[in-house]
Amino acid sequence: MSDIQRHHTNARMSRVVVHNGTVYIGGQTADDRSQDITGQTKQVLAKIDGYLKDAGIDKSRLLSAQVWLKDIESDFAGMNAVWDAWTSPGTPPTRATVEARLAAPDLLVEIAVIAAAK
């Protein structure tokens, strides 16, 4: 399994897995859950930036994103405002956004991405 690299791993999961030229970053959530959708989305995207950097790439290499929102009616526009400011111009990934019950009641957003390694 040396062709699979796992980073930021604990007994339950790896935050980042690199395999066959692809970087998989598992679902990320905000650490400060007292913030609104704007604050939580900024935290999540900052985490993703850090994990991409650890993999030696940046957000211009994103291929796909999955976004889960606690309340899509209330939070879709706020999340999109942060997302649109964050994505690299001319290189947006494919994306799916759905409403879902998240792991804790104070979580508003969770985002997972897949990117091309160098």
pLDDT value for 8: 85
What share of the chain in percent tops pLDDT 70? Answer: 99
pTM of the model: 0.94
Please say whether the beta carbons of 72 and 98 come within 8 A: yes
Domain coordinates in residue numbering, the chain? 5-116
Domain 5-116 is classified in which CATH homologous superfamily? RutC-like (3.30.1330.40)
Query: How would you classify the pairing of strands 62-69 and 22-28?
Result: unpaired
Tell whether the model's pLDDT for residue 33 goes beyond 80. yes
Give the per-residue pLDDT at 13: 86
Q: Is the pLDDT of residue 1 over 70?
A: no
Q: How far apart, in Å, do the first and last CA atoms of the chain sit?
A: 20
